[in-house]
Amino acid sequence: MKKKILIIDDEDVIRKALERFFGGAGYDVQLAGSGEKGLELLNETYPHIVLVDLKLPGISGVEFLRQARVKHPDLTVIVITGFGTIPSAIEAIHSGAYYYVTKPFDLEELYMLVEKAIDHQMLRKENIVLKQELRNKSRHDRMIGTSRGMQALTRLVDQVARTDSTVLILGESGTGKELLAKSMHYNSDRSAKPLVIVNCGAIPENLLESELFGHVKGAFTGAFHTRAGRFEAANNGTIFLDEIGDMSPNLQVKILRVLQDKKFQPVGSAKTTEVDVRIIAATNQNLEQAVAEGKFREDLFYRLNVIPINICPLRERRDDIPILVEHFLKQVNRLGQKSVTGFAPDAMKLLCHYRWPGNIRELENMVERLVILKSSGLIEVSDLPPTVTGGDQQIFLNDIAMPDHGVSFKNLVHDFERELILKALQKSGGNKNQAAMLLKLNRTTLLEKIRKCRLEKEVKSLTHGTGTQQTTAAGR
């Protein structure tokens, strides 16, 4: 894979020289003339390293660094500074830059530094993965991910796994709740004992009680033998109660009792059974809301919620996407005896931008399908399903955040509309027909919007700026 470098400098000469040099050295080079443009490219290209000039026309290099690190905490940045701005360079280092170089710089030296910084970054990532591998041993699938969210999660598993506290795992469907529960169990002192998984949502309500607590012979029609339940099967080990939000109120009371006293009665039995079981529960529902609506017992919620662990959706930790894709690709190649070499950069970019409503499960299934269908070679954009390639909205909508103080809907929509029209006009060199086509609008609607957004002046300057050849084009 080519190493990707993003170069942000407002001086044309420097940008060009760096582009030629790093391009020649086999790098995939992206250029930006401002920090704002740099931030935009950063979210599109996920470079291995960024070179940024400290003095830029809009936001400064230090400000770029600060904003960039919010979304890309592991980003490696080298700052370039002119003579006399060393204090700002030092400030940049404090804000997380890897190193700084002063102008004029020696290209070879800069190259060595860039290579070293990338090696360093790779080592750090490998280290995290190695540690995870060690931790997860070979008993079960390992949890992959180097994003800040994943690191925090693995740290939490380390802290909590060896205790007997009840854990409540919350997260959207497919985020890895079951995998996390397994990880907890196999990293605990109970790992040699059973881990029993019960999907409370999948077992019909009338069967769930006997499934969990067992029954005695003759307890109900068809109970020909006395049978132990899952709680007994999990004795000295862990029970994972998945989809706990789907449990009926009647059973909620009984689970509460097990949590409080570690005791229960098998169906049809007057005798109490005692067990030593660690309970891990999970749900993709909002339990607090279920409590407020009277669907989930408040006392049970508090009993379960001793250590809540939230797994965030994949779209909020996109840094993990490439590494997960790589992991599943290797796995499917191995198991399916395929020889797919990887994903083309454009295809990977689309995967990184997609919303992944089904989270890691959806990603895993998609990679599996793609690898099996492709069999060998590189997976290209044309191999991807339309859900991933088709959503042009996603490129814009992924990064929207809602600040605590809210936003002005009207102003934002107006600004967005104006910006889109301006971008299309810039692309078409002021040609309104082409701009209308780019925006999939009819010409009259576009003209109306140009008026509404007061863009006439911009249109005029674009038209004049592009010379006579364009003015003969249709639609002026």
Ligand X SMILES: Nc1ncnc2c1ncn2[C@@H]1O[C@H](COP(=O)(O)OP(=O)(O)OP(=O)(O)O)[C@@H](O)[C@H]1O
Distance CA 64, CA 55 (A): 11
- 38 vs 145, which CB is nearer to ligand X? 145
Residue nearest to ligand X (CB): 176
Neighbours of 271 (CB within 10 A): 7
Q: Binding partner of residue 176 among ligand X, Mg ion, none, CB under 5 to 8 Å per kind?
A: ligand X
Q: How far is the CB of 468 from ligand X (least distance, A)?
A: 58
Q: Binding partner of residue 171 among ligand X, Mg ion, none, CB under 5 to 8 Å per kind?
A: ligand X
- 144 vs 241, which CB is nearer to ligand X? 144
Q: Binding partner of residue 193 among Mg ion, ligand X, none, CB under 5 to 8 Å per kind?
A: none
Site residues (CB under 5 A) for Mg ion, limited to 392-431: none
Tokens 């797994």 — which residue? 311
Q: Does 364 bind Mg ion (CB under 5 A)?
A: no
Q: How far is the CB of 178 from Mg ion (least distance, A)?
A: 4
Number of residues that bind Mg ion (CB under 5 A): 2
Neighbours of 473 (CB within 10 A): 16
8 A C-beta contact, residue 264 and residue 254: yes
Q: How far is the CB of 369 from ligand X (least distance, A)?
A: 14
- 127 vs 272, which CB is nearer to ligand X? 127
Q: How far is the CB of 148 from Mg ion (least distance, A)?
A: 24
- Of 219, 198, 319, residue with least CA distance to 269: 219
Q: How far is the CB of 440 from ligand X (least distance, A)?
A: 36
Q: Does 178 bind Mg ion (CB under 5 A)?
A: yes
8 A C-beta contact, residue 414 and residue 454: no
Q: How far is the CB of 242 from ligand X (least distance, A)?
A: 6
Strand segments, DSSP code E, in 188-271 are 195-199, 238-242, 263-264
Total length of the chain: 476
Q: How far is the CB of 89 from ligand X (least distance, A)?
A: 37
List strands edge to edge, sheet with 99-102: 28-32, 4-8, 49-53, 76-81, 99-102
Interface contacts to ligand X, rule CB under 6 A: 141, 143-145, 171, 173-179, 284, 360-361, 364
- 166 vs 389, which CB is nearer to Mg ion? 166
Name all contacts of 333-342 with Cβ < 8 Å and 24+ positions apart: 333/371, 336/371, 336/372, 338/371, 338/372, 338/374, 338/375, 338/376, 339/375, 339/376, 340/370, 340/371, 340/374, 340/375, 340/376, 340/377, 340/378, 340/379, 341/376, 341/377, 341/378, 342/1, 342/378, 342/379
* Cα of 433 vs its chain's centroid, Å: 39
Element (H, E) at 55: none
8 A C-beta contact, residue 75 and residue 45: no
Q: How far is the CB of 171 from ligand X (least distance, A)?
A: 5
Residue span binding Mg ion (CB under 5 A) among the ranges 173-181, 226-234, 321-329, 371-379: 173-181
- 68 vs 200, which CB is nearer to ligand X? 200
- 156 vs 422, which CB is nearer to ligand X? 156
Strands 263-264 and 76-81: unpaired
Q: Does 246 bind Mg ion (CB under 5 A)?
A: no
- 243 vs 383, which CB is nearer to Mg ion? 243
Residue nearest to Mg ion (CB): 178
Question: What residues line the site for Mg ion (CB under 5 A)?
Answer: 177-178
